C-alpha cells in the first residue's frame, strides 16, 4: 500500500511518501506475508471474496526503490537512501459482482488457472510514529478492475481438479 503526493493514478516514485510492504526474505519472494486463515473468505462459484487484516506489522520504506533495496535507494534515479520505519496497517478488501470468467491453461509452463473478473473495494489505514492515514470510504464505482482465481502450477499442476 502506497501513498503519493501527486494525482491519483500517477506512479511517480519521486512523489511517493510512504510504501508499506512486508520485508523481502532471503528467498526473494516479495509483497507476500502469511495471514491467519480466518482473514480470508472465498466463494469462487459466487464470485465473492473478502480479506480482513488488522494491525499488521510492516515497515514503511518511504518509496518503492527503498522497499526493494532495503533502504539503499537508487542513486541513478535520484532516489536517496531512506531507512524503513516500523508501521502497522489494517485493511478490508471485498471482491464481488461477476463481470467475466476465463480459464488459462499452459501445459508447457505447468500452469492452469480459473479466473473471474469482478468489482472490488478496499478500505485501509496505517499508523506509525508521527503519521497516520485513513482511506476514504470504499466506492465500488471507482474500481478499475479486479480478479479472483484459483490456479495450479509447478508440482501441483498435474493434480486432479478439486484437490
Instruction: Take residue 29 and report the three cell numbers written for it.
Output: 519472494
For 41, the 3-state DSSP assignment is strand
pLDDT attached to residue 93: 96
pLDDT attached to residue 15: 77
Q: Is residue 124 part of a domain?
A: yes
Digit-coded pLDDT (tens) for 33-72 = 999 999 999 999 999 999 999 999 999 999 888 999 989 9
Q: Is residue 45 part of a domain?
A: yes
Q: Is the pLDDT of residue 1 over 70?
A: no
- CA separation for the pair 118, 140 (Å, rounded): 10
Tally the domains of the chain: 1
Digit-coded pLDDT (tens) for 21-31 = 999 888 988 88
Range of the domain at 40: 2-156
Q: Is residue 162 part of a domain?
A: no
pLDDT attached to residue 115: 97
Q: Is residue 79 part of a domain?
A: yes
Of 152, 138, 37, the closest CA to residue 96 belongs to 138
> What would the mean pLDDT of 99-123 be, rounded to a whole number?
95
pLDDT attached to residue 78: 83
Confidence of residue 162 (pLDDT cuts 50, 70, 90): low
For 68, the 3-state DSSP assignment is helix
pLDDT attached to residue 30: 87
Percentage of residues of the chain with pLDDT beyond 70: 90
pLDDT attached to residue 132: 96
pLDDT attached to residue 71: 92
Q: Is residue 115 part of a domain?
A: yes
Q: What is the DSSP letter of 63?
A: S
Q: Is residue 75 part of a domain?
A: yes
Instruction: Take residue 126 and report the three cell numbers written for it.
Output: 496505517
- CA separation for the pair 105, 68 (Å, rounded): 31
Q: What are phi and psi of 17, to 5 degrees?
A: -120, -10
Q: Is residue 49 part of a domain?
A: yes
Mean pLDDT, the chain, rounded, equals 89
Q: Is residue 163 part of a domain?
A: no
Instruction: Take residue 87 and report the three cell numbers written for it.
Output: 508501521
Amino acid at each position: 500500500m502506497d501513498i503519493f503526493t501527486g494525482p491519483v493514478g500517477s506512479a511517480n516514485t519521486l512523489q511517493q511518501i510512504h510504501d508499506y510492504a512486508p520485508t523481502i526474505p532471503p528467498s526473494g519472494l516479495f509483497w507476500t506475508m502469511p495471514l491467519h486463515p480466518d482473514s480470508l473468505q472465498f466463494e469462487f462459484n459466487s464470485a465473492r471474496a473478502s480479506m480482513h487484516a488488522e494491525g499488521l506489522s510492516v515497515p514503511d520504506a518511504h518509496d518503492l526503490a527503498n522497499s526493494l533495496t532495503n533502504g539503499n535507494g537508487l542513486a541513478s534515479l535520484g532516489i536517496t537512501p531512506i531507512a524503513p520505519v516500523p508501521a502497522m496497517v489494517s485493511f478490508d478488501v471485498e471482491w464481488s459482482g461477476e463481470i467475466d470468467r476465463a480459464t488459462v491453461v499452459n501445459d508447457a509452463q505447468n500452469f492452469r488457472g480459473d479466473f473471474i473478473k469482478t468489482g472490488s473495494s478496499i478500505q485501509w489505514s496505517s499508523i506509525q510514529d508521527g503519521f497516520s492515514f485513513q482511506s476514504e470510504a470504499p466506492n465500488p464505482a471507482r474500481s478499475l478492475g479486479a480478479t479472483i482465481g484459483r490456479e495450479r502450477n509447478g508440482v501441483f499442476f498435474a493434480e486432479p481438479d478439486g484437490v
